[in-house]
C-alpha cells in the first residue's frame, strides 16, 4: 500500500472521493495487515505530517520482491514524474522496493523531482542527502535477504511435506475430497478411464469430450479443456505420489491408477512429437499406417486429387528411378470404410476374445527400472553441479549426460510399453461390435474415437495397398478389394 501526498498548511483528512486509484498490494507481505489497515496507518501519518491525500496505489498479491510488473506502482512513478505530488508514504520501505534495480530508478526520480519518502515503520527516508540513498540501499538489501531466507524456508517446508507424503493444501484436486486425501469415487473413476483411454491410443480431445459430456467439471467449476485435462492426467497424485521438483515420493492417499499406467500417460502426453494443433492432427484412419505396395513404406497420406478434388491416399515416397509421382493412389473414404468393415467382422468372430492376450515379459522388474531412472536423474543433477563448480569440463559433461539420457529414454520407453493397455479391451468378445465401433447415430459421435480406431488397426493387421489398373471394375465400382492385402498379426 503506497500513498501520495501534497504539502499544505494544516492536516486535512482525505476526502470521500480521494484515494480511489486503488489497485492491490500484498496482504501476505503486510505482516498480517490488510490494505485497509495499512491505509489507516498511513492516513494517521498524513495527519501528523500535515499532508493532503492525493492518491492511493496498491498492488495486491504482487510482492515488491517478485520482480513482476506492479501496475499501480508504475502509475505512481508516472504521477510523481508529472509533479502531481512530492511525498510518498508506505507502511514499510520494503513495500516500495526489494530489488536494487527498482530502487535506483526510484532514487533517480526522487532526486529529480524532490520527492520525500516516509514510512510508518521505518520513518523518513531523505533521498536528497548523501546518506539517504545509502540507507535506502541497505534497507533494500536486508529486505531482499529476508525474502530470500523466507523463500528457502517455504521451499524446505514444501519438500518436507512431499517427502512425508502430505498434501500441501490449496483448492480441492479433481478426484479427491476437500481434504486432498479422500477419493471422490465418480471423479476418480473418470480419471482411471481417461488414463486407460490415453494409453490405449485415444486422443486427448476425445477424453476432454467424454469428461464434459459426463457432466464432470474442473475443481474450478469450469468445463474441461485439453490443457486442463493434460495437466490433471499428468499429476503424480493420480498414482498415489507426491512430488517436489522432479522427485516423487509415496503419498498418504490411495492411488487412482497404477504407477506404471500413470508414467505411460505422462510419457505419451509429454511426447514433443505428439501433434496437438487442430491443423496438424491426424484425420484419416490409415494415415501413416497403410503401406505402399510398391516401396513397402507406411507412407500413405491423404490429399485432394482429380478435377473434383476427392480425398485420396497417395504414397509420399519417391521411387529410386527419379519419378516424382507417388507409387499408389486409392480413394480415402472407400479404403477406410473397407478396412473398418473388415476389422468389425474380425472382432465378431468367436475367437476374438483370444486377441486380448498380450505377451508380457514375466521377468521385467518395473520397480527396479523406476529406481534406476531416479538414480539417473540424481546423477544428471550431480554432473550439472560438478560442471558449475569447475570440477569437470564441458566435454565431460556432454559425454556423461549423453549416455545417461540415452539410458533414461530407453527405460522410459520400456516402462511405457509395459503399461500400455490393449486397445481391443471393451471390443473383443462383445455382442454389438458395430454399435461400439460406429456408434448409433448417423454422425458417428457416439462411436470410437479416431485415435482408438487407429490403435486397433495397428494392433490387428497391416494393410498394404497394391498397384492396380485404373477404371471401373466389373461391378461398376472404382474400388477393388483385391488391390488390398491384409496381413493379420498373430497373438
- Asked if 183 and 253 touch (Cβ cutoff 8 Å), the reply is yes
Taking the alpha carbons at both ends of the chain, their separation in whole angstroms is 70
Q: Cβ–Cβ contacts within 10 Å for residue 170, how many?
A: 8
pLDDT of residue 98: 65
Please state the rounded mean pLDDT for residues 35-56: 76
> Cα 320 to the chain's mean position, in Å?
44
CATH number, domain of 211, equals: 3.90.1750.20
Question: In which band, very low, low, confident or very high, does the pLDDT at 278 lie, cut at 50, 70 and 90?
Answer: very low
DSSP per position, 106-144: HHHHHHHHT-EEEETTTEEE-TTSSHHHHHHHHHHHHHH
Structural domain range at position 6 = 2-146
Question: In which band, very low, low, confident or very high, does the pLDDT at 336 lie, cut at 50, 70 and 90?
Answer: very high
Residues 392 and 243 grouped into a single domain? no
Residues 23 and 86 grouped into a single domain? yes
CATH number, domain of 128, equals: 3.40.50.1390
Helical segments of 50-117, H only: 71-81, 100-113
Residues 337 and 192 grouped into a single domain? no
Rounded CA separation 34/38 (Å): 6
pTM of the model: 0.49
Residues 202 and 346 grouped into a single domain? no
* Cell representation of residue 399: 559425454
Residues 326 and 460 grouped into a single domain? yes
Mark which of 146, 170, 196 sits at the end of a domain.
146
Residues 197 and 265 grouped into a single domain? yes
pLDDT of residue 282: 67
Range in 35-44, 106-115, 377-386, 464-473 with the lowest mean pLDDT:
35-44
Residues 260 and 196 grouped into a single domain? yes
pLDDT of residue 18: 33
Tell me what percent of the residues of the chain surpass a pLDDT of 90: 18
Strands 116-119, 123-125: pairing is: antiparallel
CA separation, residue 290 to residues 299, 335, 338, 431, 481 (Å): 7, 10, 13, 28, 14
Q: Please list, residue by residue across 328-345, b when 16 or more beta carbons sit within 10 angstroms of its beta carbon and e when fewer do.
A: bbbbbebbbebbbebbbe
Residues 224 and 370 grouped into a single domain? no
- Residue 385 falls within a domain, yes or no? yes
Residues 480 and 353 grouped into a single domain? yes
pLDDT of residue 279: 45
User: Mean of the per-residue pLDDT values for the chain?
Assistant: 77
Residues 349 and 433 grouped into a single domain? yes
Please state the rounded mean pLDDT for residues 377-404: 86
- Residue 444 falls within a domain, yes or no? yes
pLDDT digit string, tens, across residues 193-222: 898 888 877 788 889 988 998 999 998 899
- Residue 277 falls within a domain, yes or no? no
Residues 430 and 476 grouped into a single domain? yes
Q: Cβ–Cβ contacts within 10 Å for residue 138, how many?
A: 10
Question: In which band, very low, low, confident or very high, does the pLDDT at 11 lie, cut at 50, 70 and 90?
Answer: very low
Residues 11 and 85 grouped into a single domain? yes
Structural domain count, the chain:
4
- Helices 450-460 + 332-347 axis angle, to 10: 70
Amino acid at each position: 500500500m503506497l500513498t501520495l501526498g501534497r504539502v499544505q498548511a494544516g492536516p486535512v483528512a482525505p476526502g470521500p472521493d480521494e484515494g480511489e486509484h486503488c489497485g492491490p498490494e500484498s496482504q501476505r507481505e503486510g505482516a498480517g495487515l490488510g490494505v485497509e489497515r495499512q491505509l489507516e496507518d498511513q492516513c494517521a501519518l498524513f495527519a501528523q505530517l500535515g499532508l493532503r491525500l492525493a492518491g492511493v496505489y496498491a498492488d495486491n498479491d504482487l510482492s515488491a520482491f517478485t520482480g513482476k510488473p506492479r501496475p499501480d506502482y508504475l502509475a505512481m512513478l508516472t504521477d510523481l514524474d508529472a509533479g502531481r505530488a512530492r511525498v510518498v508514504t508506505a507502511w514499510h520501505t520494503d513495500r516500495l522496493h526489494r530489488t536494487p534495480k527498482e530502487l535506483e530508478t526510484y532514487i533517480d526520480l526522487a532526486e529529480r523531482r524532490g520527492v520525500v519518502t516516509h514510512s510508518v515503520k521505518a520513518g523518513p527516508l531523505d533521498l536528497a542527502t548523501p546518506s539517504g540513498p545509502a540507507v535506502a540501499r541497505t534497507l533494500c538489501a536486508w529486505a531482499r535477504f529476508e525474502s530470500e531466507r523466507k523463500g528457502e524456508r517455504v521451499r524446505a517446508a514444501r519438500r518436507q511435506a512431499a517427502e512425508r507424503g502430505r498434501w500441501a493444501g490449496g483448492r480441492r484436486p479433481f478426484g479427491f475430497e476437500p481434504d486432498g486425501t479422500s477419493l471422490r469415487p465418480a471423479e476418480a473413476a473418470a480419471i482411471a478411464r481417461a488414463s486407460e483411454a490415453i494409453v490405449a491410443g485415444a486422443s486427448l480431445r476425445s477424453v476432454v469430450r467424454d469428461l464434459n459430456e459426463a457432466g464432470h467439471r474442473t475443481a474450478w467449476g469450469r468445463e474441461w479443456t485439453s490443457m486442463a485435462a493434460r495437466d490433471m492426467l499428468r499429476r503424480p497424485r493420480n498414482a498415489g505420489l507426491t512430488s517436489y521438483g522432479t522427485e516423487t515420493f509415496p503419498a498418504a492417499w490411495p492411488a487412482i491408477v497404477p504407477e506404471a499406467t500413470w508414467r505411460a500417460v505422462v510419457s505419451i502426453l509429454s511426447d514433443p512429437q505428439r501433434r496437438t494443433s487442430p491443423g496438424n492432427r491426424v484425420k484419416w484412419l490409415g494415415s501413416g499406417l497403410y503401406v505402399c505396395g510398391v516401396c513397402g513404406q507406411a507412407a500413405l497420406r491423404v490429399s485432394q486429387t482429380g478435377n473434383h478434388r476427392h480425398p485420396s491416399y497417395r504414397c509420399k515416397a519417391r521411387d529410386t528411378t527419379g519419378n516424382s509421382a507417388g507409387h499408389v493412389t486409392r480413394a480415402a473414404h472407400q479404403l477406410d470404410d473397407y478396412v473398418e468393415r473388415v476389422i468389425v467382422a474380425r472382432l465378431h468372430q468367436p475367437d476374438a476374445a483370444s486377441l486380448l492376450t498380450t505377451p508380457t515379459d514375466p521377468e521385467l522388474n518395473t520397480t527396479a527400472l523406476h529406481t534406476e531412472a531416479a538414480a539417473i536423474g540424481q546423477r544428471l543433477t550431480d554432473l550439472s553441479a560438478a560442471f558449475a563448480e569447475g570440477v569437470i569440463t564441458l566435454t565431460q559433461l556432454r559425454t556423461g549426460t549423453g549416455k545417461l539420457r540415452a539410458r533414461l529414454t530407453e527405460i522410459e520407453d520400456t516402462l511405457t510399453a509395459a503399461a500400455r493397455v490393449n486397445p481391443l479391451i471393451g471390443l473383443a468378445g462383445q455382442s454389438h461390435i458395430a454399435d461400439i465401433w460406429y456408434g448409433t447415430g448417423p454422425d458417428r459421435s457416439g462411436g470410437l474415437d479416431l485415435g482408438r480406431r487407429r490403435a486397433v488397426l495397428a494392433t490387428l493387421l497391416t494393410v498394404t495397398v497394391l498397384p492396380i489398373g485404373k477404371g471401373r471394375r466389373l461391378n461398376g465400382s472404382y474400388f477393388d478389394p483385391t488391390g488390398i492385402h491384409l496381413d493379420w498379426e498373430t497373438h
